[in-house]
Structure 1
Amino acid sequence: MELQKMNGHSREDGFDGLDAMAEHEEFLPHKTGVKKEMHFTDFEGKTSFGMSIFNLSNAIMGSGILGLAFAMSNTGIILFLILLLSIAVLSAYSIHLLLKCAGVVGIRAYEQLGNRAFGAPGKMLAGCVITIHNIGAMSSYLFIVKSELPLVIQAFLGKHENTGEWFLNGNYLIMIVSALIILPLALMKELGYLGYTSGFSLSCMVFFLISVIYKKFNIPCPLDIGHHNVTPTDSHALINATDFCEAKLITMNSQTAYTIPILAFAFVCHPEVLPIYTELRDATKKRMQAVANVSILAMFCMYLLTALFGYLTFFGAVESELLHTYSKVDPLDVLVLCVRLSVLVAVTLTVPVVLFPIRRAVLQILFPEKPFHWARHIIIAFCLIVIVNILVIFVPSIRDIFGLIGATTAPSLIFILPGIFYIRIVPEEQEPLMSRPKVQSACFAAVGFIFMTMSLSFIIIDWVTGESRSGGGH
């Protein structure tokens, strides 16, 4: 997916309203006598509405779902619901801004929107933010593979401990998974083809949700802590068990401040929006917005149900990684083992979807005028996977790095860049600088700066004080 023809109508061709342009924008060449400007892709989208929903939902869904129950325990049910709903609505609005920008200039590449708004610096900024964010997301997925896959294999072999065989070494396993599964999927030419794997990946996460709901009614509370793998130094073991079984509607503690960046990170799908838009059949702004709205609504429901039933299962005893909490109850539980396996499949199949925007960003920065070439396509994918593998293998703990990435790139992709792109790209003759849409966009970008400042401040405070933090990935 390389070059796309810009719609033949320019701003001087007589379109009088943004809404009219957006609704009639088909991104297909019209015979107007105006020279077509080449852009990102040069083919008509063939991906169905349903497959596009699968791809975008899979881009939204990430490992962060495992930490949402812990987030709810640190905010309370009502406050969590308010925050989750707010982030979901704001994410849908930011996609609306991106689609309007794309409709104005006929571009469906995030980096090219940056180029249109701020020239080469804007293009570099967008490309770098997308690359850093998605490399962090890919690394978080492969870290799950590195830590969980040996345990799954160990359980299937009936081993009670890791005896050091090569097939129980997480470093070897991620290289095998990358070579046999991730790389072949990443070599596909079009993102739309991954709709089938995205659908299967989402099915795995639905199984995870069903299991969380089922376990709520099969695990008593308070937990018999003395019976489980909780060491005497475990912080949960030092708390009165009666505190575990009380659902709090609103609560505040030292971990509450991390809920907003965790939730924001969990809804980041914006680098994938425009490529999915490009490959959508009968593409219009209204149709793509419907894809985004359905995807965000579906993920909102999954996030809320997972957090709610996970929290109501363990209450105060819930850990930052939900699967670990189930392991405390029964390490040999067959259902939990199956859930681990399904989560592994889900995150593995998500990696190629996340890789596509990184490759596109690299192509836009290094080879903006080059046509599609298989060698370039393959080499970039191979190099990206090698880089991510090296990070996962040689960096012992990148929780702080992920926190830093999540605190900077997530607000940038959701709030800041869509807001400032809209202000710069939409012509002032159509919407003056002080018009309501542009004022809203400016406020939207300001919210992103506030979120970024808050998140970075809390991370720096934790680094200085040495306090432990809850983890949360996309």
Structure 2
Amino acid sequence: LDSESEKVVQDALDKVVALKRRTTIIIAHRLSTIRKADKICVVNGGKIAEQGTHQQLVQLNGIYAGLVASASSASRDIFDTLKHQCDCAPRAVSMGEYVASPRAASGLVTGFAKESDYLLKEPSYVINLDGHKTAPSSTEARTDQKATSSLWGSTFTLTNTILGSGTLAVPFAIASSGWLLGNAIMLAIALITRYSVQLLLSASDRAGQNCAKTYESLGHFAMGAAGTRLAEFTFIFGGFGTLVSYLIFTTDLCAAVLSVGAKDKWMITVFTVIAVVFPLSLSRRIGKLWLSSVLAILSIGYVVAFVFVAFLSVYNEDGGVIASGVQAVRLDPGSVYTVTLLISAFACHNTALPVYEELKDRSLAKMNRAVVGAVGVAFVLYEIIALCGYLQFGADTKDNILLNFSPEYVQKHQSIALPLLAGQLCMALALLLTTPIAMWPFRSCVLSVYLRVKNGVQTPSHEASYKEYAGVTVLSLALILLCSIFVPSVKIPLSIVGSVSGSLLIFIMPALFFLLQSPGPLLTREHTGPLLMIATGIVVGVLGLSLTLYKLAHEYF
């Protein structure tokens, strides 16, 4: 916008403020995101030079058409424009794909230092140049067209997000604190997860129906650039640890099936990464990998059923005797694994906002039912595998419950040999095929950071060239491969991720986003819960990481 056009916009804003109407104006959208707008206005010299739909303006062969032509031959430059009835979300987001928030884009326009003052918590109207208000019915209609997911579908998606490789480590988490204390902690974390997701969704609603559809954009809306950086750090750090744990789980399971010794396991890791993970990770269309997600859920369900049936079978064979070393309460430095591993096991916040966006006839109450259903299903499955695994193996429970079924154990109970083999193969294959999916949010954040450093402005990861995309994939997998080979136990990355990223993702960030968008004083009864969440998150993060490092130092050094 030139200086005269800036004055037109500022005058319109002044009129709105004088009328005390809640209004949001969005400027400086990327050219590629404007094409579905109901009306596009090109302002030049303080006057509307062109207006119409994308197709109409292209056929007009004027200023807008020239910008479209230049954008197709160069990188997608920022198109400074004022748009009526605008859609705040640049594009649909899937599997954690990073998209710069609307406020990040608007901040690129100079001459609007006070623009953020008009980005109110609940935008009701988008202004026209003549100052009259326009109801956002068309925006709501477009949102409703995207919202096609049922309550059951949303519940399944969230359940799929929660359940993962951490399921195999839940028995070890319970064994670290005893069956009574461990279950109390698991119930507390399940309830906290439900509450923190509610805070996250409430913060999203306060930001506006269409203005915060990803964790990163909500962070930027609430905290500016600091919120974006915090979200990026959380996803990069957490994603790296999760990917390392996936490869460790896969390697251990394949080694158990193939009877490969500990010294040669690294060859399995290298082969699986080169032959399977790397080729699948090069695809830029995540929709092709949906089958892996379904396979992972089925495999986890089978493993839980297998551990349950194996426990009942062995329990009856042994005359109702449980394993030695089973305790109701156990308190020592190793008890920290219960908290950190279970925090990782229940996290579903990275997909909560996209799922909320796609929920048909969405409301906070309806989404809460989906969250309660997903957390409830995960809690029941965790309860079954945790108690059955711990009561069956006692103090010898390993951080991968399937590794407890050793060749000696199978020789003693030969009836479980084939079901165990099927469980190990299914779980190994599921985790192997899920690794490329887990790469998406991690790589997207890394690409966003790289492109911001390269271009000097916040740039969505999908704008990276294929060479940049492949280069980041290769470097990331190389680092993940090295760590998975040299890290001796899967509980190390899972515990560190739970204490650092988990405390940020579950405790601190949802409460912080909620508080920053809450009117009135900070110290009120309504804010007691979020303030306690922030304090608890800091304690869990600092204490959890300290005890984890202390425990690891004594175990391995």
Normalised TM-score (structure 1): 0.76
Report sequence identity in percent. Answer: 24
Of residues 263-272 and 364-373 in structure 1, the stretch that sits farther from structure 2 once superposed is 364-373
Name the structure, 1 or 2, with higher relative contact order (CA <8 Å, separation 6+). Answer: 1
Asked if structure 2 preserves the Cα contact closer than 8 Å seen for 1:139 and 1:388, the reply is no
> How many Å apart are 1:374 and its aligned residue?
7.5
Of residues 280-289 and 434-443 in structure 1, the stretch that sits farther from structure 2 once superposed is 280-289
Q: How does 1:269-308 map to 2 (within 5 A)?
A: 269-308=348-387
The change in CA–CA distance for 1:435 and 1:30 in structure 2 (over 3 A counts) is farther
The residue that corresponds to 2:105 in the other structure is none
Asked if structure 2 preserves the Cα contact closer than 8 Å seen for 1:74 and 1:256, the reply is yes
Counterpart among 203, 211, 214 of residue 306 in structure 2: 211
Asked if structure 2 preserves the Cα contact closer than 8 Å seen for 1:52 and 1:195, the reply is no
The residue that corresponds to 1:422 in the other structure is 514
**d(CA) in 1 for partners of 2:362 and 2:440?**
20
> How many Å apart are 1:436 and its aligned residue?
2.3
The residue that corresponds to 2:389 in the other structure is 310
Q: How does 1:233-252 map to 2 (within 5 A)?
A: 244-245=323-324, 247-252=326-331
Amino acid corresponding to residue 422 of structure 1 in structure 2 = F
The yes-or-no answer on 1:321 pairing with 2:321 is no
The yes-or-no answer on 1:176 pairing with 2:288 is no
Asked if structure 1 preserves the Cα contact closer than 8 Å seen for 2:38 and 2:85, the reply is no
The residue that corresponds to 1:71 in the other structure is 173
**Runs of 5+ in structure 1 lacking a partner?**
1-9, 16-27, 155-159, 224-241, 470-474
The change in CA–CA distance for 1:450 and 1:461 in structure 2 (over 3 A counts) is same
**d(CA) in 2 for partners of 1:29 and 1:151?**
56
> How many Å apart are 1:401 and its aligned residue?
5.3
The yes-or-no answer on 1:60 pairing with 2:162 is yes
Asked if structure 2 preserves the Cα contact closer than 8 Å seen for 1:40 and 1:108, the reply is no
Aligned to 1:450, the other structure's residue is in SS state helix
Q: How does 1:124-135 map to 2 (within 5 A)?
A: 124-135=229-240
Asked if structure 2 preserves the Cα contact closer than 8 Å seen for 1:208 and 1:339, the reply is yes
Asked if structure 2 preserves the Cα contact closer than 8 Å seen for 1:66 and 1:320, the reply is yes
The yes-or-no answer on 1:348 pairing with 2:398 is no
Amino acid corresponding to residue 105 of structure 1 in structure 2 = A
TM superposition outliers: structure 1 runs of 4+ over 6 Å:
28-31, 162-168
The change in CA–CA distance for 1:143 and 1:70 in structure 2 (over 3 A counts) is closer
**d(CA) in 2 for partners of 1:463 and 1:346?**
29
The residue that corresponds to 2:33 in the other structure is none
Asked if structure 1 preserves the Cα contact closer than 8 Å seen for 2:448 and 2:460, the reply is no
- Number of aligned residues: 415
The yes-or-no answer on 1:454 pairing with 2:454 is no
> How many Å apart are 1:14 and its aligned residue?
5.6
The residue that corresponds to 2:251 in the other structure is 146
Normalised TM-score (structure 2): 0.65
**d(CA) in 2 for partners of 1:97 and 1:212?**
35
**d(CA) in 1 for partners of 2:432 and 2:470?**
15
Asked if structure 2 preserves the Cα contact closer than 8 Å seen for 1:67 and 1:322, the reply is yes
The yes-or-no answer on 1:467 pairing with 2:555 is yes
Of residues 323-332 and 358-367 in structure 1, the stretch that sits farther from structure 2 once superposed is 358-367
> How many Å apart are 1:283 and its aligned residue?
3.9
Aligned to 2:306, the other structure's residue is in SS state helix
**d(CA) in 1 for partners of 2:313 and 2:330?**
26
The change in CA–CA distance for 1:150 and 1:181 in structure 2 (over 3 A counts) is farther
Amino acid corresponding to residue 81 of structure 1 in structure 2 = N
CA RMSD, 1 decimal: 3.7
Asked if structure 1 preserves the Cα contact closer than 8 Å seen for 2:193 and 2:346, the reply is yes
The residue that corresponds to 1:41 in the other structure is 91
The residue that corresponds to 1:115 in the other structure is 220
The residue that corresponds to 1:229 in the other structure is none
> How many Å apart are 1:360 and its aligned residue?
4.5
Aligned to 1:320, the other structure's residue is in SS state coil
The change in CA–CA distance for 1:460 and 1:208 in structure 2 (over 3 A counts) is closer
> How many Å apart are 1:114 and its aligned residue?
1.6
> How many Å apart are 1:137 and its aligned residue?
0.6
The change in CA–CA distance for 1:196 and 1:427 in structure 2 (over 3 A counts) is farther
Asked if structure 2 preserves the Cα contact closer than 8 Å seen for 1:146 and 1:171, the reply is no
